[in-house]
Amino acid sequence: MHKTPLKVNFTLSNPIQFLALGFGSGLAPKAPGTFGTLAAIPLYFLLTLLTPTFYALTVLLMTLAGFYICGKAADDVGVHDHPAIVWDEFVGFFITMFMIPVSWQSVLLGFILFRFFDIVKPWPISFIDKKVAGGFGIMIDDVLAGAFALIIMQLIF
């Protein structure tokens, strides 16, 4: 659970902050990570139009860009891993859904599993979340939560 102030000066007209805030979805007053993950679902459907190789490359590019995007947005407002920064949730959900058959059931289960691992942060996610700083630190716990959820999704589907 984050113990940071929600009232900071994010600027949606700033392209980096716009992306970091998940197109504004991270500004939800309650459960911004959940709203960020919900906002990722339409983009996920677009990603499913790609071949698995291009899907993976796109998510890799989004992950690498996320190190900068999340770090810069956090630096801009002076709060490391502010709850409104949800680009990492987008990437984590996309990882969760890699090569999973598309259905409302798979999207719902992927959403639930990703949010579970992102919120509960079992070891080693919790350890890494506490020890790694900067944009990489903001991203890596969600990348790992997505990987944990992906493993379960692959076993199910």
- The model's pLDDT over 87-142, given as tens digits with 9 standing for 90+, comes to 999 999 999 999 999 999 999 999 999 999 999 999 999 999 899 999 999 999 99
Q: Phi and psi at residue 108, in whole multiples of 5°?
A: -65, -45
For residues 130 and 128, give the distance between their C-alpha atoms in angstroms, rounded to a whole number. 5
Give the model's pLDDT for residue 2.
47
Q: Phi and psi at residue 30, in whole multiples of 5°?
A: -125, 145
